[in-house]
Amino acid sequence: MAASDTSLQVLSWAVPCQIYPNLNFTSSLPFKYSLKSAKKGDYGTILRKGRGVTRYHEGNRVMKGVEHVRGQEPGNWSKSFKCNCIRAESVIETFSKDGSKILMIENQSYEATEHLVSEKEGLSSNNGSAHATENNKTTITGVAESLEDEAWKLLRESMLYYCGNPIGTIAANDPCVANTLNYDQVFIRDFIPSGIAFLLKEEYEIVRNFILHTLQLQSWEKTMDCHSPGQGLMPASFKVRTVPLDGDESATEEILDPDFGEAAIGRVAPVDSGLWWIILLRAYGKCSGDLSVQERIDVQTGIRMILKLCLADGFDMFPTLLVTDGSCMIDRRMGIHGHPLEIQSLFYSALLCAREMLVPEEVSANLVQALNNRLVALSIHIREYYWIDLKKLNEIYRYKVEEYSFDAVNKFNIYPDQIPPWLVEWMPKKGGYLIGNLQPAHMDFRLFSLGNLWAIVCGLATTEQSHAILDLIEAKWSDLVADMPMKLCYPALEGKEWRIITGSDPKNTPWSYHNGGSWPTLLWQLTVACIKMERPEIAENAIKIAEKRLARDKWPEYYDTQGARFIGKQAHLFQTWSIAGYLVAKLLIANPTAANILVNVADTALLNAFSCALATPRRNRPRKGTFQNFII
Ligand code: GLC
């Protein structure tokens, strides 16, 4: 069978389990389980057998089965269990002529029978289970010493293992909930604070595994009914499934099962996943000093695939990324289709990170050029047209409409009546923010925290604007932070607006969930932004507020009501990114320079390009392609 045929066949089944016969390996495999070649000459697929493991998996989301297996059959693993998995870093992706991805193992052969090399800290702590005690405190096999210790224990308990190796953290790990929906999966966006926490703790393995395994999912065959979404898309989430092995009743194997939105509520495409992946990849390199991951051919290809998807030409007139509703952290209908700020901030950030990581080579030359052009255009667009403060509001209030000309002041034909009455009173004298969305004849004046905070972190907002955003957060503390940092968006949609825009979504009722709910995970982005602007005291105050309730309330996913007084109606408890977000905030406050792994600072070349572009009057600005003058 030709290699590409084999690849197609196996890719539709399990990742990563393809092993190619033309490559030999001699290195030992640091697996938890003994490994053994199943059938010689079958491209070396390594299997994992054993009813004990399967049974255990059925009842448990996290791979606690490792302990169980050891307890059940000590000394007998090499006979009973075979793993189909290989270390992520030894998998090389390449592409066949038909465009399908082929996975190959570097320098490996298949007669490997190895024992577990070492017990890892994270795995051993997987043993304990979180449970609520009578006095409402969480204990994990012992007494939690401090809030941070408790958070670390919970974070470790949420770790998911693939063939014995940590690969991510599940979204929520509430032992009291039977119907977890898909919260027992590793969400790409949810893992980011977990990954950062592990990086800051110098525990790099889980992040490296996550990066490399999700990369392999990137080209997974994905379909929505009869339609296949674009290559380069990263899944929203994935899970580890133990499945019976074809042709061998007593054998099972583990597979990674991604969800690109085909199963997600509302079938939303996770546009943010790939962008976050790039941001984490850069943070991994900066923090660990291990640049070999980002330099790998398959990783470089992965970066390029994401960029190609984002930079592809469409019908857009704007440099902002055009997406459907619910394509990011707000992953259901909330009226954020079009050009939502969160996506634009992540896009800008990912472009900068990718620019730093792309190895200069011919194949990337055009892409880098397109990327640079987009960076300039995107920043001008957002800084000019998304920004509002009292002065700008007053300008909009006096806008002329129906202007037909290149030099129109009111380019998007915004009718001044769109300024919502709440904003007229609410906008402080000092401060401002980037609006949620901009479309023809439509400004979404809601404040979305994540987009604003990340615009500070990545430098999409100017220094002045960044300070003004923090000024506004301080001035509107009781609305945006209140009893729990912080509001995902402000204000909530109510009444008719809620009915029309959310489609009467009972989960997004006013001041709940995405519609004005408060999300503790945002603490980490707030902290990075404050540290970047050298105003850490703002984050410190927010952390103090969170500390009063987070553990007591069992680390909820979100809070409801205008003042964030109630635990969210349908909020999951022991929500991993609430836990990890808190940890990252604490770690960064203790060591602010570490925030550099996330912060982007525009270099001189880029700054020159911005000022050049801005100094050129609109009429004289170059048409598409000629921004190459600004190529860096
Ligand atoms: C909710 C959030 C989404 C998150 C998911 C898992 O749907 O809106 O952003 O990824 O839960 O925690």
Query: Which atom from ligand 1 is nearest to the alpha carbon of 237?
Result: 10
SS (H, E, C) 122-171: HHHHCCCCEEECCCCCEEECCCCCCHHHHHHHHHHHCEEEECCEEEEECC
Least confident of 80-89, 296-305, 402-411, 479-488: 80-89
Say if CB 50 and CB 44 are below 8 A apart. no
In angstroms, the CA 129 to CA 142 distance is 10
Least confident of 77-86, 191-200, 214-223: 77-86
State residue 22's pLDDT score. 30
Rounded average pLDDT over 314-329: 92
Which of 187, 192, 343, 574 gets mutated to test ligand 1 (max ligand atoms within 8 A of its CB)? 187
Query: Which atom from ligand 1 is nearest to the alpha carbon of 187?
Result: 10
Burial (CB < 10 A; 0-12, 13-18, 19+), residue 119, is: exposed
Collapsed DSSP state (helix, strand, coil) of residue 314: coil
Q: Which of 176, 164, 67, 197 is nearest to 130 (CA)?
A: 176
Say if CB 512 and CB 569 are below 8 A apart. yes
Asked if pLDDT for residue 429 goes beyond 50, the answer is yes
| pTM for this prediction | 0.80
Say if CB 104 and CB 20 are below 8 A apart. yes
In angstroms, the CA 23 to CA 41 distance is 13
Asked if pLDDT for residue 21 goes beyond 60, the answer is no
H or E element that contains 452: helix 449-458
Asked if pLDDT for residue 160 goes beyond 50, the answer is yes
Query: Which atom from ligand 1 is nearest to the alpha carbon of 171?
Result: 12
Q: What is each CA distance from 105 to 36, 221, 472, in whole angstroms?
A: 15, 21, 52
In angstroms, the CA 447 to CA 386 distance is 11
Which residue would you say has higher pLDDT here, 475 or 260?
475
Burial (CB < 10 A; 0-12, 13-18, 19+), residue 74, is: exposed
Which of 186, 188, 190, 334 gets mutated to test ligand 1 (max ligand atoms within 8 A of its CB)? 190
Q: Ligand 1 centroid vs 331 CA: distance in angstroms?
A: 7
| DSSP per-residue codes, 487-532 | BSEES---HHHHHHHHSS-STT-TTBTTBB-B-TTHHHHHHHHHHH
State residue 605's pLDDT score. 77
State residue 404's pLDDT score. 84
In angstroms, the CA 70 to CA 505 distance is 47
Highest mean pLDDT among 101-110, 364-373, 420-429: 420-429
Q: In terms of DSSP bridges, do strands 25-26 and 48-49 run parallel, antiparallel, or are they unpaired?
A: unpaired
Q: Give the pLDDT band of residue 28 (cuts 50, 70, 90).
A: very low
State residue 602's pLDDT score. 77
Collapsed DSSP state (helix, strand, coil) of residue 445: coil
Which residue would you say has higher pLDDT here, 290 or 90?
290
Q: Give the pLDDT band of residue 520 (cuts 50, 70, 90).
A: very high
Asked if pLDDT for residue 31 goes beyond 50, the answer is no
Percentage of residues in the chain having pLDDT higher than 70: 73
Asked if pLDDT for residue 188 goes beyond 60, the answer is yes
Q: Which of 279, 303, 435, 272 is nearest to 368 (CA)?
A: 303
In one letter, which amino acid is 104? M
Q: Give the pLDDT band of residue 618 (cuts 50, 70, 90).
A: low
Least confident of 167-176, 390-399, 621-630: 621-630
Question: How many CB atoms within 10 Å of residue 141?
Answer: 12
Asked if pLDDT for residue 190 goes beyond 70, the answer is yes
Q: Ligand 1 centroid vs 335 CA: distance in angstroms?
A: 17
Asked if pLDDT for residue 416 goes beyond 90, the answer is yes
Asked if pLDDT for residue 296 goes beyond 80, the answer is yes
Question: How many CB atoms within 10 Å of residue 190?
Answer: 29
Rounded average pLDDT over 582-594: 98
Burial (CB < 10 A; 0-12, 13-18, 19+), residue 369, is: middle
Q: What is each CA distance from 98 to 7, 101, 377, in whole angstroms?
A: 11, 9, 34
Q: What is the DSSP letter of 554?
A: T
Asked if pLDDT for residue 348 goes beyond 80, the answer is yes
Average confidence score pLDDT of the chain: 79
Cβ-Cβ contacts under 8 Å for 212 (sequence gap 6 or more):
88, 89, 91, 293, 299
| DSSP per-residue codes, 357-424 | HPPP-HHHHHHHHHHHHHHHHHHHHIIIIIEEEHHHHHHHHT---S--STT-SSTT---GGGS-HHHH
Q: Whose CA is nearest to atom 6 of ligand 1?
A: 171
Asked if pLDDT for residue 155 goes beyond 60, the answer is yes
Q: Give the pLDDT band of residue 510 (cuts 50, 70, 90).
A: very high
In angstroms, the CA 215 to CA 478 distance is 41
Q: Ligand 1 centroid vs 518 CA: distance in angstroms?
A: 13
State residue 619's pLDDT score. 58
State residue 144's pLDDT score. 44
Least confident of 193-202, 404-413, 418-427, 449-458: 404-413
State residue 620's pLDDT score. 60
- Within 6 A (CB) of ligand 1 lie 171, 183, 187, 189-190, 329, 331
State residue 145's pLDDT score. 65
Which of 158, 189, 578 gets mutated to test ligand 1 (max ligand atoms within 8 A of its CB)? 189
State residue 227's pLDDT score. 75
Rounded average pLDDT over 33-45: 28
Q: Whose CA is nearest to atom 7 of ligand 1?
A: 331
Least confident of 445-454, 462-471, 612-621: 612-621
Percentage of residues in the chain having pLDDT higher than 90: 59
Say if CB 323 and CB 333 are below 8 A apart. no
Which of 329, 512, 515, 519 gets mutated to test ligand 1 (max ligand atoms within 8 A of its CB)? 329
Q: Ligand 1 centroid vs 550 CA: distance in angstroms?
A: 18
In angstroms, the CA 380 to CA 611 distance is 10
Query: Which atom from ligand 1 is nearest to the alpha carbon of 513?
Result: 8
Q: What is the largest CA-CA distance in the chain?
A: 80
Collapsed DSSP state (helix, strand, coil) of residue 609: helix
In one letter, which amino acid is 201? K
Query: Which atom from ligand 1 is nearest to the alpha carbon of 329?
Result: 9
Q: Give the pLDDT band of residue 623 (cuts 50, 70, 90).
A: low
In angstroms, the CA 323 to CA 624 distance is 22
Say if CB 578 and CB 488 are below 8 A apart. no
Q: Give the pLDDT band of residue 41 (cuts 50, 70, 90).
A: very low
pLDDT per residue as tens digits for the range 44-67: 222 233 222 222 222 222 332 222
- Which two three-digit tokens encode residue 254? 């583990």
Which residue would you say has higher pLDDT here, 534 or 137?
534
Asked if pLDDT for residue 224 goes beyond 90, the answer is no
